[in-house]
Chains A and B, each alone.
Chain A
Amino acid sequence: MAKNIEQTVKDLMAIVLNIDAADIDDSTSMDNTPGWDSANHISLVLALEEEFAISFEVSEFEMMTNYVDVVQVVNAKL
């Protein structure tokens, strides 16, 4: 069965940002995650596009600066 979207996002963020999936929660954001810099942000966005077979607008890149918003933007595309 497909994993739920939240878990898939967490697993993917864990790999791209080199953090532990279990440490990701609603408070996780670019501001408090050292690996989540602007270059890795683009890597994350591209990996999400590939994983979910979706495409973001540039304005959406700039909205997805924390875990909650990432899930929300991804959900809106599915």
Chain B
Amino acid sequence: MTETAAKPDRRLAIRESWQAGDVHAATQTARLLLLEQPGLTNYRFLRQLLTGAGPTASGLKPLRVALLSSFSIEFVHDALIAFGFANGLQIDIYQPGFGQIRQEILDPASGLYAFSADVAILAVEGEDWLPEIYNDFLDANDGQGSGPDAALQRFGQDMAALLQAFRAASSCPVLLHNLAAPRVRRAGIADARLPSGQAQRVAKANAALFEVAAKVVDTHLVDYAGLVARYGLNNWYDARMRLYAKAPIAGGMLGHLAQEYMRYFRAFRGLTRKCLVVDLDNTLWGGVVGEDGVDGIALGTDYPGNAFVEFQRAVLDLHRRGVILAIASKNNAADVDEVFATHRSMLLRKEHFAELQIHWELKSESLRRIAQRLNIGLEHMVFADDNPAECALVRRELPMVTVIELPRRPEMYVDALCAEGLFDVPSLSDEDRRRGQLYQQRAQAESMRSSSGNIEDYYRDLAMELQIAPVDASSITRAAQLTQKTNQYNLTTTRYSEAEMSARLVDPDWVVSVITVEDRFGNHGIVGVVMARVLDGALHIDNFLLSCRVIGRTVETAMLAYLCDVARERGLKRLHGHIIPTAKNVPIRDLFDKHGFDKSAVDEAGSTRWGMALDDHRVAWPPWFRVSCKATAAAAVTNSDVE
């Protein structure tokens, strides 16, 4: 097999960047290596680089993964560590022997719990756990075994009991595989006509897993069946390795499994991308509008125009899932306006885009401006362009931006956009679905700000309504998501999983509330979280964050006023808080100073402690809000009519 020239170069470049301490360049090049040349040797290469002697990892986010399986899954370790590297993660793996799932989960003294994982994966093959509906199907139907129905019922109960036992001992998220289709249909083609055939029973087993996963908090069902189906059973499994080493997954498929896990890992570590910036010519349509004219571009029902329509649909789907869209194009604005206004095959409308940079300046500059205007970190942005030179420029100038270099053939664009799942989140909240619209409201509010006379008039003109309520089942997904995603307006950047948060909801010493904001432009949904704890006669703020959508509207003042009221209601004398500085949270650092708290301590890491005596001080509610506070579980908060 001939070698391409790029292969050794990429490895060398990664090694050099890594040893020079340039993590952005190293991870960016590792991503390119894995996109161009996925394979076991490169996975091993990256693993050796990361775990070998030499400079230690810095700038990578650690992630501890417990891998529990019904089969030998350790050959995926290289791919997990390698794709983790390319995603900015340093992955540590705990791997008990296969078939140890029950013992590890049920024994409180097991290595699993000692490892204190950030995520646990339950990788189960149907033929290992449900032989009655896989390999022993005909035996079981002949009355030889316990019967498939009994087996299915037992399976559901078994999985529920295991997950509950795990959840009682650990609060880390769980990824639970569903079951792939059987490799062999034991009854041949007749299976399709049997109401109690293998295919029907596997579907039932997966429905049972769906129910189980829905009942245990922070348990995420991995669609292993769908993953295997995408590549095909005959490619996914290697009978030789299954029988020789109890390692059924083919070597060439291990990278796909690792990448499926990465979609979750990115979300758990705040690495999910938030904004897609697209080019226009030869990206959203074929051809160059400035040369070919609106009627000359390829977009419509025939090839290649229909390929561009498909790509637009995929981009529009992302918008509907809450991804912010923007444009960076070298074009005449008038030409682009004409396409948006008159081309009948455009699925994407101008209003789907939160920011348009259409001019002849450098695209790196366009991306910087988009990041600044939308208040989104560059590391949360993806740039998609067909032009290799533009892609190379952005990779060089802005290595934290993820670049999708669209392939030559437009029918491959959708795959290029979706292959890595860069925008995937484990569950979609209402806020996610409405985010595109919310950013339009934000833009309208911003333009009003510049027309309002003074700042208080602006706040009043916004007609903001604020609701503060304890976190409950309807808000916990969003609340936990906000603790994981919010970077800028976040006092302590303490991240909580749903399970960790729900443990605090039932503790009477904890106050865990969400803030919802509505203004004259629409409902922003849940935009803030406060978590505080009663300790030694004082209320201590543990977590205090606000989405960047509503920064600069004094919502934070209202949040502090709320905490003062909660503390007074509980007869507490003081309100305490601390600020843990990060690279991102500069905007919130003056919070306590601005609101009259006293600084009591600074530690060597730069963390500051603040306090306010509530006997003679309080933070007043800003008069421009209409406020409603729902009672907390432990203490009624009655100041629903403020000022």
Binding site for B on A (CB under 8 A): 1-3, 8, 12, 15-16, 18, 39, 42-43, 46-47, 49-53, 57-58, 61
Contact = CB atoms under 8 A, between A and B. Distances in A.
B548 to A, nearest CB: 44
Given A49-B251, A58-B240, A43 B3 contact: no
Given A2-B3, A42-B75, A43-B78, A15 B44 contact: yes
Interface residues of B, number: 20
Contacts of B247: 42
B40 interface: yes
B3 A47 contact: no
A77 to B, nearest CB: 11
Question: What is the interface of chain B mostly: helix, strand, loop, or mixed?
Answer: helix
A18 B54 CA distance: 14
Interface of B: 1-3, 39-41, 44-45, 48, 52, 74-75, 78, 240-241, 244-245, 247, 251-252
B75 to A, nearest CB: 7
A15 to B, nearest CB: 5
A2 to B, nearest CB: 5
Question: What is the interface of chain A mostly: helix, strand, loop, or mixed?
Answer: helix
A46 B40 contact: yes
Given A42-B245, A53-B1, 5 more contacts: A15-B45, A18-B48, A39-B74, A47-B39, A57-B240
B77 to A, nearest CB: 10
B245 A50 contact: no
B52 A18 contact: yes
A31 B41 CA distance: 22
A18 B78 CA distance: 13
10 closest residue pairs by CB, A with B = A46-B251, A47-B40, A2-B2, A47-B41, A15-B45, A58-B244, A50-B39, A16-B44, A18-B48, A50-B40
A53 B39 CA distance: 12
A66 to B, nearest CB: 20
B613 to A, nearest CB: 61
Contacts of A1: 2
A57 B240 CA distance: 8
Contacts of A39: 74
Contact of A50 (B2, B52, B244, B251): B251
A52 B41 CA distance: 12
A39 B95 CA distance: 14
A51 B78 contact: no
Given A42-B75, A47-B41, A58-B240, A52 B3 contact: no
A1 B4 CA distance: 9
B113 to A, nearest CB: 25
B415 to A, nearest CB: 22
Contacts of A16: 41, 44
Nearest to A16: B44
A58 B41 CA distance: 20
A58 B238 CA distance: 12
Nearest to A49: B251
Contacts of B78: 43
Contacts of B75: 42-43, 46
A58 B247 CA distance: 13
